[in-house]
Structure 1
Amino acid sequence: MMPLPPLAVPATATAPALRLRPWSAADLKELADVFPLPGVPGEWLAAETRGRAAGERQGFAIRAETAGAAPRLVGHLVLKTPAAGPGEVGYWTAEAARGTGVATRALRALTTHVRDETDLRELRLLHQEDNTASCRVAEKSGYVFSRVLPAFPPAFPRDGHLHVRHLTG
């Protein structure tokens, strides 16, 4: 799949504009502030860069753009594109941005772009069963609950939910 361009999400009456763009070294300091674990920012950027180069994943830094202020990192959105089968989306938001609609607005923008500009016909979204906030984001973004996925420790210690968004019709 061709690399996706940066995406702009317009401001609303209650929320700032968002810019979704590929991760870069310029994001490392803010990423370290969001995830203050030793080594995480550098490892994160290296993994994102490898995945994008291999055409397997396209990760985006989600940055809020408020007039008169520097854009700030508020989350992450990823599109995983296997060689065959449906795509998969995932996201996280910075703690300060949770509950503000960032994930829903960013996911809707990416989903629309994928629907309009790629050959993918289905996207899947997975989250832990107890993550009710992610369930709400999925539903608000048009991803329909499909089924419960059993836990698969150690990587997936809890049951999960699979949501599906069909991009045709």
Structure 2
Amino acid sequence: MTVALRAEATPSAPALFLRPWNDGDVPSLVEVYRDPVLRHWTTLSAESVDDAVRWLDVQRRGWETGERLSFAVHEDRTGSGESESESRLVANVVLKRTDRHSGSAEVGYWTAAHARGRGVAPRALEALTVWAFDTFAADKLERLELLHQVDNTASCRVAEKARYRFHEVLPARPPFPRDGHLHVRRADAPL
């Protein structure tokens, strides 16, 4: 499945393009992983080229099974969406569909340090959300869930900006050491 998504530019931010991860992303992934904040909030492990290759293999297998559809998010500074050499990795967004018959799936994301606070995460999450509801409408996908630790206030803001409404507090469970927030967005949610 060849998939490319786009989030249009805003007055204060360049356009984003989202596409499945590939081997060319290894150096950028290792660079982004050096950020201690990212390492604190994610289970991503990409301390070395070998780690990054293993992580990308997980993403590739996810696309093959349809259970983990993960996108590298790049800023498109040219406005064309065509030249990756003119772009920079800014985030990851993922749709997790472990039970295709349940009518729900989970979304997740992380943002590179150099891209935080510029609206990248909510815009990329919105592009993923619209794509997921459109693409899997025939599978009756009706609900997307976003989970984060209760003390991750930045993720709470991203969820709200992307119209994922707070649903409930979830008790801590591995790999999360603290309680979490569950945010939900429904396919029929008003714009």
Give TM-score scaled by structure 2 length.
Answer: 0.82
Structure 2 counterpart of 1:136, one-letter code:
R
Q: Deviations over 1:53-76 (max 9, x none)?
A: 111010000000113971000010
Q: d(CA) in 2 for partners of 1:117 and 1:31?
A: 27
Moved more, 14-23 or 3-12: 3-12
Q: How far 1:113 moved relative to its partner?
A: 1.8
* SS at 1:13 equivalent: coil
Tell me, yes or no, if structure 1 residue 13 matches structure 2 residue 11. yes
Identity between Structure 1 and Structure 2 (%): 51
Structure 1 counterpart of 2:147, one-letter code:
L
Tell me, yes or no, if structure 1 residue 82 matches structure 2 residue 98. yes
Equivalent of residue 186 in structure 2, options 152, 156, 166: 166
Consecutive unaligned residues in structure 2, runs of 5 or more: 35-46, 80-84
* SS at 1:138 equivalent: helix
Conservation of the 8 A alpha-carbon contact between 1:35 and 1:41: no
Aligned residue number for residue 61 of structure 1: 72
Q: d(CA) in 1 for partners of 2:17 and 2:133?
A: 19
Moved more, 32-41 or 103-112: 32-41
CA RMSD of aligned residues (A): 1.6
Aligned residue number for residue 176 of structure 2: 156
Consecutive unaligned residues in structure 1, runs of 5 or more: none
Q: How far 1:4 moved relative to its partner?
A: 6.9
Structure 1 counterpart of 2:66, one-letter code:
G
Q: How far 1:44 moved relative to its partner?
A: 1.1
* SS at 2:86 equivalent: coil
Equivalent of residue 147 in structure 2, options 99, 102, 126: 126
* SS at 1:156 equivalent: coil
Q: d(CA) in 2 for partners of 1:72 and 1:123?
A: 28
Give TM-score scaled by structure 1 length.
Answer: 0.92
Q: d(CA) in 2 for partners of 1:147 and 1:136?
A: 15
Number of matched pairs: 166
Q: d(CA) in 2 for partners of 1:5 and 1:135?
A: 28
- Runs of 4 or more above 3 Å deviation: none
Q: d(CA) in 1 for partners of 2:131 and 2:61?
A: 23
Equivalent of residue 24 in structure 1, options 17, 22, 25: 22
Q: How far 1:14 moved relative to its partner?
A: 0.5
Aligned residue number for residue 50 of structure 1: 61
Call closer, same or farther: CA 1:124–1:63 in 2, change over 3 Å: same
Q: d(CA) in 2 for partners of 1:19 and 1:105?
A: 10
